[in-house]
Amino acid sequence: MSFEQAIIVECDIVNHDHDYFKIQDEAEPQEQIFPVLPMPNAQPHTYTIVPGTQRGTEIIRDDLGFMYYKNKSTENKIYLACLEKKGCKCRATAAIPSDRENKSIVLSKQHNHLVKPFDLDVPFLRQHITEKALTKTVNSYVPRGIYMESIVNFPEAANNYTFIQCAERMRRLRQGMFPATPQNISEFHDLLKNDENQMFTLTLQRLQFYQGPLVVNGVIKGVLFCNIAHIQKIEQNLRNVRVAGCDG
């Protein structure tokens, strides 16, 4: 296949975790983004590291815009394969030094496809959302809140990484990192007593909020949440109270 023939190979954009379809208004013209055609036999010189879709993975992006994943490594070199090896059956390979301070890259085999459009902000937005989603704090659990907080830092990426994708990613991440939903009050109590979940037993001021189970005839019938520290603070004022209400 000649280079002129190879450039007609079409590739899907892989900025997203999943394929999503959006109905477009036919009356509104849509901006078209065309693949970039590098010079034939052009050689990259440097690379940057981009967070991969999977947590903890990396993508190598050369200064021409082509992207690679790590194939194997030796003491002195890391060997790369084109990210489009499956989609476009591209056999391009490259190598970078094991010393990550050295940003040079050498292309061994040429690509058989164009450089595709890629929003560099998307992987960094996705990484920021991942870190927030897996942080165990009292007030970090609402997906929309995490998404809105994250896109402040990467506003342009919001066009290519929607809240729907964010919520789905958070759901999958938390399935593997957080315990399953308790089936009864006893299991709920056990989760709260686990040291790994201690932050969920505190108030935003990090005062003890979970006080323990409500046991009736040796059986756990409920769980008790109460800000005792606050009650102790107003204890003197409560001495003259004859009638009090309680929420919950």
Mean pLDDT of 220-230: 86
Give per-residue pLDDT as tens, 107-142. 999 998 888 888 888 999 999 988 888 877 665 567
The three-state secondary structure class of 163 is helix
Dump strand ranges (E) for the chain: 47-51, 58-62, 67-73, 77-82, 93-97, 106-109, 210-216, 219-225
Q: So what's the pLDDT on residue 60? A: 93
Q: So what's the pLDDT on residue 139? A: 59
> What are the sequence ranges of the domains in the chain?
1-27+38-118, 121-177, 185-237
Torsion of CA 114, 120, 122, 128, to 10 degrees: 150
The three-state secondary structure class of 37 is coil
Considering the segment(s) 1-27+38-118 as one domain, its CATH architecture is: Single Sheet (2.20)
**Res. 72: pLDDT tops 80:** yes
Give per-residue pLDDT as tens, 175-217. 777 777 888 888 888 888 888 778 778 877 788 888 888 889 8
Report which of 137, 118, 132, 73 is spatially closest to residue 99, judged by C-alpha positions.
73
Q: CB neighbours of 150 closer than 8 A, spacing ≥ 6?
A: 125, 128, 129, 132, 166
**Res. 227: pLDDT tops 90:** no
**Res. 12: pLDDT tops 60:** no
Q: What's the whole-model pTM score?
A: 0.55
Give the up-direction half-sphere exposure of residue 20: CA atoms within 13 A in the CB hemisphere: 15
Give per-residue pLDDT as tens, 28-70. 344 444 455 555 678 899 999 999 888 888 999 999 999 999 9
